[in-house]
Chains A and B, each alone.
Chain A
Amino acid sequence: MTAIFQHALTRILRSGLILVLAIAFVTPASACSVCFSAKEETLAAFHFTTAFLTVLPFLMIGSAVLLLRRRMKMLANRPPS
């Protein structure tokens, strides 16, 4: 039990040391094409298209839900044949 605990502790300390070294001795690459594009127009296009592609599926699913609700009401109000 002590050996297993010591082994786990060694692994945690080693991972922690690697993490500290990774944070302390690296610099950001600033390579994200959305955040660091040279032109304002391209940045604006990225932001717009990201928002557009995010909202579109919700719009379509919402429309489908509305359509199904209307059909449900229509079928519920239809007199029994």
Chain B
Amino acid sequence: MKEVSPDPTGPDALPGDRSARPSLLPTAVTGMLIFLTAEVMFFAALISAYLIVSSGSSDWPPPDQPRLPALSTAFNTLALLLSGGMIFHANLTYARSSGSSRRTTRLLLTAILLGSFFVLFQGFEWVRLIKFGLTMKSSTYGSFFYLIIGTHALHAVAALVVLVLVYRNLKRKTLAPENFWAAQVFWYFVVGIWPILYILVYLN
């Protein structure tokens, strides 16, 4: 029986045989990038709607609505940015040690804890804002705040779940590098878009 050539361009290659050709990007990363492209457009639409509505109001934020905790959220923002830095370093140590480093595990765990702190602190601030009267129904300002920041929080929670799964696989030494890469891309998106939302919503 004739052996099939591993060269996909050779005369004996089967149609669609890509086993000898390296892919440009792993499938997990490609899928994550496509998903994040859609999410970027989603956030861009929310930001655009917010900018148009806020520019049309004579008083923004409305004087009868509670003011957002910009200072404490600035501290929270630092925690989130730090978690992004931790993930970056975790990736560097992962690449250097070919995936078997305790330092990578510690850095990843620290990033997860910082991200969890961010989400929990945001939740705590939300409870206080609701007590002070800022709700989704109290005003357009409230609706936009909870919609935009809430959507980001949902993404942060989803990204944290992904990071926890990556951490578990890393501890078991079953982590595929492309899955770690895809999880990082998701976390960089959550971290990267937050300063834009903070400046537009909290500092506007």
Q: Chain A interface (Cβ within 8 Å of chain B)? A: 37, 39, 41-42, 44-46, 48-49, 52-53, 56-57, 60, 64, 67-68, 71-72, 75
| Contact of A45 with B55 in the complex, beta carbons under 8 Å | yes
Question: A39-B55, A42-B52 known; A53 and B44 CB under 8 Å?
Answer: yes
Q: Chain B interface (Cβ within 8 Å of chain A)? A: 22, 24-25, 33, 37, 40-41, 44-45, 47-48, 51-52, 54-56
Complex Cα distance, B36 from A57, in Å, reads: 12
Q: With both chains docked as a complex, state the minimum distance between the C-beta of A37 and any C-beta of chain B, in angstroms.
A: 7
| Contact of B24 with A71 in the complex, beta carbons under 8 Å | yes
Complex Cα distance, B41 from A52, in Å, reads: 10
Interface majority SS on A: helix, strand, loop or mixed? helix
The interface residues of chain A lying within 8 Å CB-to-CB of B52 are 42, 45-46, 49
Complex Cα distance, B33 from A42, in Å, reads: 33
| Contact of A52 with B56 in the complex, beta carbons under 8 Å | no
Q: Can you name 30 A-B residue pairings with CB atoms under 8 Å?
A: A39-B55, A39-B56, A41-B55, A42-B52, A42-B55, A45-B54, A45-B55, A46-B52, A49-B47, A49-B48, A49-B51, A49-B52, A52-B44, A52-B48, A53-B41, A53-B44, A53-B48, A56-B41, A56-B44, A60-B37, A60-B40, A64-B33, A64-B37, A68-B24, A68-B25, A71-B24, A71-B25, A72-B24, A75-B22, A75-B24
